[in-house]
Chains A and B, each alone.
Chain A
Amino acid sequence: MLAKRIIPCLDIKDGQTVKGINFVNLRQAGDPVALGKAYSQQGADELVYLDITASHEGRKTFTDLVGRVAQEISIPFTVGGGIGALADVERLLTAGADKVSVNSAALRRPELIDEISGHFGSQVCVVAIDARQGDDGRWTCYLNGGRIPTDRDLFAWAHEVQERGAGEILFTSMNHDGVKGGFANEALRRLADTLTIPVIASGGAGCRDHFRDVFALGHADAALAASVFHFGEIAIPDLKVFLRDEGIPVRLTATTPTPPPATNTPTHIRQ
């Protein structure tokens, strides 16, 4: 059975992992290659590396990092941040990334999605969407890491990027990001139930129950989180066992703890 994916996200600045709390206030969280390797060994299904460096020099550092990640890690990984042209995509795929994630550049020039999927295939093209739900209930897309609002509606944009050839959508709810109160399951469900491409949920993970809910209620194909993993609040092997016991199909690896004794088995039906 196709497994629901657990994806740690590493924000990279000047070659180091950082995590924004509500898109600001950066904190250090370790060496990106070592951290990625540790997650891979713990059973992470994919990794996302986001370059939040603005400078040209930082870009080169990031490309070098992508090359080192590709050499050392044996699970798929996506890279994003600052991708504005096909040349950026080619540079990162050549360095060894499996997929690229585009965000603001696609909002500014949607044809970029057609170009990436046309040249490299839909499977490499992840479109990241940052959106906020206003008081009127409407979900609006934001540019530049959530700093600049647009007039685009989340659902209309999600369908447009699918039509243009995106292979996956990575949706971050700005209302939920960094709050650790759970994912935006209502909006996620609406996306997942109407799109034909996979939806990765981002923003809001605080405890294991939130991951169960994002799959069971939000119908997401994958869930992404950062700080709960970086700071050891949730261990991926424990999370995988918890999800399996809750009836969510997940990939268990050799390092995943063995099943609990039968007496501890939950009473509800499992597959």
Chain B
Amino acid sequence: MKVAVVKYNAGNIRSVINALRRLGVEPVLTDDADELRGADRVLFPGQGEARQAMTYLRHHHLDEVLRSLTQPVLGICIGQQLLCSHSEEGDTPCLGIFPAVVRRFQPRRHEDKVPHMGWNSLHFGEGARSPLLRGIAEEAYVYFVHSYYVPLCAHTAATTDYILPFSAALCRDNFMATQFHPEKSGDVGERIIQNFLDL
């Protein structure tokens, strides 16, 4: 299986590569359109700022490439946010796979610290479980670091409650995304990455 990780200017891609290697997969880190289109799985991870990331993606025509992918794609953290239609961060138009607007957390009480950083729990609705999240227990803990969030929408696959309930994971056809970092979420995260590889 050929697994590609999107190479762009949002850091912390190494931890995703390390996580894939722990599962016995040697990924290619690439910004080449043909290589991305030809991969069996594409991971779109990252940390960073939305406007700079989108500027880079557009400049390298990666926005069109990402939109055109038909194999399973997994956005992580800022990757999830960039797959939405718009981000409040820098008032940035994004890739538009998920019709949602990314918002900044507004603290309500002193305890509401931003960024939302640390381990928080996942909740699943009544509907069918996304294959990405197969075998993950209700209230399983995963690791988050973010100041912006995706509100609940038709494509929400899991929710987490911090200041308000938000989309911890999204799924639409071949596009999947997590706000949390599965590559830093211990056994639970490892299972989610394995689920993605097994789709």
Interface residues of A (CB under 8 A from B): 1-3, 5, 40, 45, 70-72, 74-76, 93-94, 96, 98, 120-123, 167-168, 193, 196-198, 221-222, 251-254
Contacts and interface: CB of A to CB of B under 8 A. Distances in A.
Contact of B11 (A93, A222, A252): A93
B113 A198 contact: yes
A198 B118 contact: yes
Nearest to B110: A193
A2 B18 contact: no
Given A94-B14, A96-B14, A221-B118, A74 B110 contact: no
Contact of A70 (B18, B107, B145, B185): B18
Nearest to B162: A2
B186 A2 contact: no
A123 B117 contact: yes
A121 B185 CA distance: 20
Given A120-B11, A253-B187, A71 B21 contact: yes
B124 to A, nearest CB: 16
Contacts of B165: none
A93 B14 CA distance: 9
A167 B162 CA distance: 18
B184 A76 contact: yes
Contacts of B119: 2-3, 5, 45, 251
A55 B170 CA distance: 48
Contacts of A222: 118
Contacts of A168: 117
User: Which bracket fits the contact residues of B?
Assistant: 20 to 34
B47 to A, nearest CB: 7
Contacts of B181: 76
A75 B145 CA distance: 13
B138 interface: no
A125 to B, nearest CB: 12
B185 A74 contact: yes
B121 interface: yes
Nearest to B114: A196
Contacts of B115: 122-123, 167
Given A74-B22, A76-B184, A251-B141, A2 B120 contact: yes
B40 interface: no
Contact of B47 (A121, A193, A221): A121
B118 to A, nearest CB: 6
B118 A45 contact: yes
B183 A74 contact: yes
A62 B14 CA distance: 18
Nearest to A95: B14
18 contacts: A1-B120, A1-B161, A2-B116, A70-B14, A70-B15, A74-B19, A74-B184, A74-B187, A75-B184, A75-B186, A96-B14, A96-B15, A120-B11, A121-B47, A196-B113, A197-B113, A198-B117, A253-B186
A72 B23 CA distance: 11
A71 to B, nearest CB: 5
A167 B67 CA distance: 34
A198 B111 CA distance: 9
A76 B114 CA distance: 18
B117 A1 contact: no
Contacts of A75: 143, 184-186
Contacts of B189: 74
